[in-house]
């Protein structure tokens, strides 16, 4: 029996929204979740650092009806008076296609390809991170900036033995940290279970050992740092968090509680105009800014920050993560 032609069609519905509405969509898609075929939702900035100028793209298999379009509208109340844009697309995986054909990236000692047909480069640690459903193929400035910052930390002689990557995306930053400090214990988490599956696949493709021992990468699905496996391994001497400015600020108390005195924190996913607020949030937790790399593209500047936790003066007590610090910040995704 032949397939229904309408079922093979891909349609995109576009509406304006605010950043607050966009962030809320990561946690709750309302009644759309009850549909047999829920749409894939993607949000993006229209004007950099303008919280009112965001956009929602909803991708459907088959043309959505008036009732379904009305459900999408309920997710973005600010667009009540806006005319939705509905267009038919070829039946493709648009998240994957948006990453295909990107040029390989050299960042520090790392060379990241997203197509197997691209040749490896001598003198680099090569990684193949194929296009897929998680962010972090290395091409975005936040990811390449973190790779450069990790490389710089190693060149400066830093040594780490207990590492966590919060919001791992494709796993590339955790992989890079393990290459630089191969005996370290490492764990990577993401709020999106698909990202955790992608990271596991990428680990096998790139010969990154998985497991709970030294030199192995453990994987968990978690909102922020709220997971027994993450808390149980604390304190960490290196924490990597490449997410968004808002969640980074919200996570400041819990991330710093997981970090040992003198430990290092690498933050990214923020714009230049947001850096002061992020740094201020971590200074209130006893951190100091130790290094910064600025990365630019057509949408603005994306700084990568390296902070150090100030040592406690006097006798150091055993570290315990406070029970009231959950480390949850719903509604964020990884870069």
Q: Which residues are annotated as a binding site for S-adenosyl-L-methionine?
A: 143, 167, 190, 242
Helical spans, DSSP H, in 17-80 = 19-25, 66-75
Q: Is 102 exposed, middle or buried (0-12, 13-18, 19+ CB in 10 A)?
A: middle
* Residue 258, number of CB atoms within 10 A of its CB: 25
> Could you tell me what percentage of the chain is helix, strand and coil, using 3-state DSSP and rounding each to the nearest 5?
30, 30, 40
Beta bridge partners of 186: 163, 217
Q: Dig out the tokens for 193 from the structure.
A: 């279970």
Round to whole Å and give the CA distance between 136 and 188: 13
Q: Which residues have CB under 8 Å from 201's CB, separation 6+?
A: none
Helical spans, DSSP H, in 15-164 = 19-25, 66-75, 94-97, 141-155
Residues belonging to the chain: 335
Judged by DSSP in three states, 288 sits in strand
End-to-end C-alpha distance for the chain, whole angstroms? 42
**112 with 140: CB under 8 angstroms?**
no
**165 with 178: CB under 8 angstroms?**
no
**295 with 303: CB under 8 angstroms?**
yes
Q: Dig out the tokens for 307 from the structure.
A: 């902070």
- Annotated binding-site members: 143, 167, 190, 242
């Amino acid at each position: 029996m032949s397939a229904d032609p309408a079922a093979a069609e891909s349609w995109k519905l576009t509406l304006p929204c605010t950043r607050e509405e966009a962030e809320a969509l990561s946690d709750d898609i309302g009644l759309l979740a009850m549909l047999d075929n829920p749409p894939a939702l993607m949000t993006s900035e229209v004007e950099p650092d303008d919280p009112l100028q965001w956009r929602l793209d909803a991708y459907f298999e088959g043309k959505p009806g008036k009732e379904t379009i009305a459900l999408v509208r309920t997710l973005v109340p600010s667009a009540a008076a806006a005319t939705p844009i509905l267009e038919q697309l070829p039946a493709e995986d648009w998240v994957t296609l948006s990453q295909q054909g990107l040029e390989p990236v050299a960042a520090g000692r790392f060379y990241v390809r997203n197509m197997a047909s691209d040749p490896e480069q001598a003198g680099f640690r090569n990684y193949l991170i194929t296009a897929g459903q998680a962010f972090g193929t290395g091409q975005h400035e936040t990811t390449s900036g973190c790779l450069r910052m990790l490389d710089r930390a190693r060149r400066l002689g830093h040594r780490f033995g207990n590492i966590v990557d919060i919001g791992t995306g494709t796993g590339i930053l955790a992989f890079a940290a393990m290459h630089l400090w191969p005996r370290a214990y490492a764990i990577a988490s993401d709020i999106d279970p698909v990202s955790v599956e992608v990271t596991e696949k990428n680990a096998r493709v790139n010969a990154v050992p998985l497991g709970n021992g030294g030199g192995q990468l453990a994987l968990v699905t978690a909102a922020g740092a709220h997971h027994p496996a993450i808390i149980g391994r604390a304190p960490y001497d290196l924490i990597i968090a490449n997410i968004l400015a808002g969640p980074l600020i919200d996570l400041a108390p819990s991330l710093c509680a997981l970090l040992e005195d003198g430990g290092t924190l690498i933050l990214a996913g923020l714009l230049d105009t947001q850096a002061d607020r992020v740094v201020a949030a971590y200074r209130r937790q006893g951190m100091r800014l130790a290094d910064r790399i600025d990365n630019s593209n057509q949408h603005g500047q994306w700084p990568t920050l390296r902070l150090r936790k100030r040592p406690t003066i006097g006798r150091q007590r055993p570290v315990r993560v406070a029970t009231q610090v959950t480390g949850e910040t719903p509604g964020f995704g990884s870069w």
